[in-house]
Amino acid sequence: MLEGAPARLADVERRIAAAATAARRDATGICLIAVTKTFGPADIVPVLAAGHRGFGENRVQEAAGKWPPLRERFPLSELHLIGPLQSNKAKDAVRLFDAIHTIDRPKIARAVADEMARQGKTPELFIQVNTGQEPQKAGVAPAAAGALLALCRDELHLTIAGLMCIPPWDAPARPHFAALAVLAGELGLHGLSMGMSADFEIAIACGATHVRIGSEIFGQRLPSHGEGAQGPATPSSRRPDEINS
C-alpha cells in the first residue's frame, strides 16, 4: 500500500498515463482533478507541494472556508466546482472557481452568466448531464442537453467547454461514459468531465478529458467529516463519497 498522498498522486498519474497509452491518447490532454471534499489544508498542502495544481470541491461554502489562504501560498492552483450549484451561491462560485462543471438548468446558467459579467471572470463551464436520469441527482436529461447548450451559447453568450456526468453508483460506468461522449460529439463539444477513483481508467478509454479523483489520492474520508467511513476504492465498486449529491 502506498503511503502518503504525494505517493498515491504519483501512482494515479502513472495509471492515467498507462490508460491514455492503451487508448492511444496523449496523457497531457487529460486533466487530473484531485477532489479535496472534506479534507483540510494539512491533507492538501503535501499534494500542492508535490506540484499538483488542479483540485475539486463539491460545496462552495467549504471551498470558501479553506482555499483562499491555500491559493495565496500556491497562486497557480486551479479550483473546480464539481458539486451542485444553487443560484444564491453563483456569486461566490464565480469568484472562487476556475471551472464550474455543474451547469444543469437555465436558472443556474443565467445566475452564472450574470455573475461572470459583473465580476469580469470567465471560468471554464461544463453542462452536467444526468445520464442515468436519476430523480435524486442533479443534471439535465440527455434529451434536453441541446436546448440548455443553445440557451447558454445563443442567449447568454457563454462558452461551454464540454459535458460532465456521474453514472449511477450501482451500474456499470462504461455505457454512461460512452453515451456522454456520443452526446458531446453530436453537440460539437470536446470536453468530457467523467470518471472517479473506481472507474477513471474506463473513462479515459471513453475519451475523458477531466477525471475527478479523491480517495485514490487522499485516502478514506472519516466519520468526523460528516460522512461514513469509506475504504479504498476497488475496480468493481463506485465511490459514493465522491458523488456530487
pLDDT digits (tens, 9 = 90+) for 101-125: 999 999 999 999 999 999 999 999 9
C-alpha span between 79 and 82 (Å, rounded):
10
201, three cell numbers: 481508467
Which is nearest to 205 in space by CA: 175, 164, 236, 169?
A: 175
What percent of the chain is predicted at pLDDT more than 70? 89
Amino acid letter, 201: E
User: Would you say the C-alpha torsion 188, 116, 44, 222 has a positive or negative sign?
Assistant: negative
Give the residue-averaged pLDDT of 226-245.
36
| Confidence category of residue 138, pLDDT binned at 50, 70, 90 | very high
Beta strand extents in 113-224 (DSSP E only): 124-128, 160-164, 191-193, 210-213
Residue 240 has pLDDT above 60, yes or no: no
Instruction: Indicate whether 236 pLDDT > 70.
Output: no
pLDDT at 220: 82
**Rounded mean pLDDT, 59-76:** 97
pLDDT at 126 > cutoff 80:
yes
Q: What is the 3-state secondary structure (H, E, C) of 77-95?
A: CEEEECCCCCHHHHHHHHH
| pLDDT band at residue 73 under the 50/70/90 scheme | very high
The highest-confidence range among 131-140, 150-159, 217-226, by mean pLDDT, is: 150-159
Q: What is the mean pLDDT of the chain?
A: 90
pLDDT of amino acid 222: 60
What percent of the chain lies above the pLDDT cut of 90? 85
In which band, very low, low, confident or very high, does the pLDDT at 2 lie, cut at 50, 70 and 90? low
Q: Average of pLDDT values for 198-218?
A: 97
pLDDT bin (cut points 50, 70, 90) of residue 238 is: very low
